[in-house]
Structure 1
Amino acid sequence: MTISEGNIGAKLPAGPIAEEIFERLSGSRDVLIERIVSTGQATPEGEWYDQERDEWVMVVSGAARLFVEGEEDERDLSAGDWLLLPAHCRHRVTWTQDSPPTVWLAVHYPPNSD
């Protein structure tokens, strides 16, 4: 048995970076747990996330705005806020705080069959 450890707030960039950082923290064949670090990035206009798996996502630090297709308003997210985005729930990130960075914790898993 191997024990892994880390700190979700460790090794954050000091300032804005060109691309978001996606870091796999743990997972299995069916589940992915990742840290995402954003410094002002947003989903390009006209593009959408449309994922095959459910995604539970939480803003650990920083802030962001997310738009879900079919909703009238963007969702403002700050530290501690989380969402469960079902598979194929089209959404886009419209803004992320750049300094200090926005840190997300995301868990991806097969769609709930309920």
Structure 2
Amino acid sequence: MDNLFAGIPERLDDELFESIIENEAVTVERIVSRGQRSPAWGWYDQARDEWVVVLKGRAVLAFERGEEMTLAPGDHVVIPAHMRHRVAWTDPDGPTVWLAIHY
């Protein structure tokens, strides 16, 4: 048995992406952020839909069309395939733990 809150590093230079389940139909990953954000010049443009939930911490997602969304523990969102987005902010004072499902 594993725990989504186990093994969270005290320091991270980059966001930590860990695959939990992966096959041709679905990918489930844990993401841990500590103040990281996407590069200002870059957008995620994913080929599959993504459902993401913040389990711990806080974050702000930004979308290319100008919308921003603040996420707190328990908040979740579906990001359709090819909806360009990025992480604009994550809590620098503690870990933000995400669970993402790409399908």
Q: Fold-level match, TM-score > 0.5?
A: yes
Q: TM-score band (shorter)?
A: over 0.9
Matched, 1:54 2:49: yes
Identical residues among aligned pairs (%): 49
Matched, 1:13 2:25: no
Q: Which residue of 1 aligns with 2:86?
A: 92
Q: Which has the larger radius of gyration?
A: 1
- Write the deviation string for residues 14-69 of structure 1: whole angstroms up to 9, x where unpaired: 2x310111001113221000000001110111210000010000001000001112
After the TM superposition, which parts of structure 1 deviate over 2 Å for at least 4 consecutive aligned residues? none
Q: TM-score, normalised by structure 1?
A: 0.85
Work out the CA distance in 1 between the residues paired with 2:92 and 2:21.
Answer: 25
| Match of residue 69, structure 2, among 66, 75, 85 | 75
Which 5+ residue runs of structure 2 have no aligned equivalent? none
Q: TM-score, normalised by structure 2?
A: 0.94
Aligned length: 103
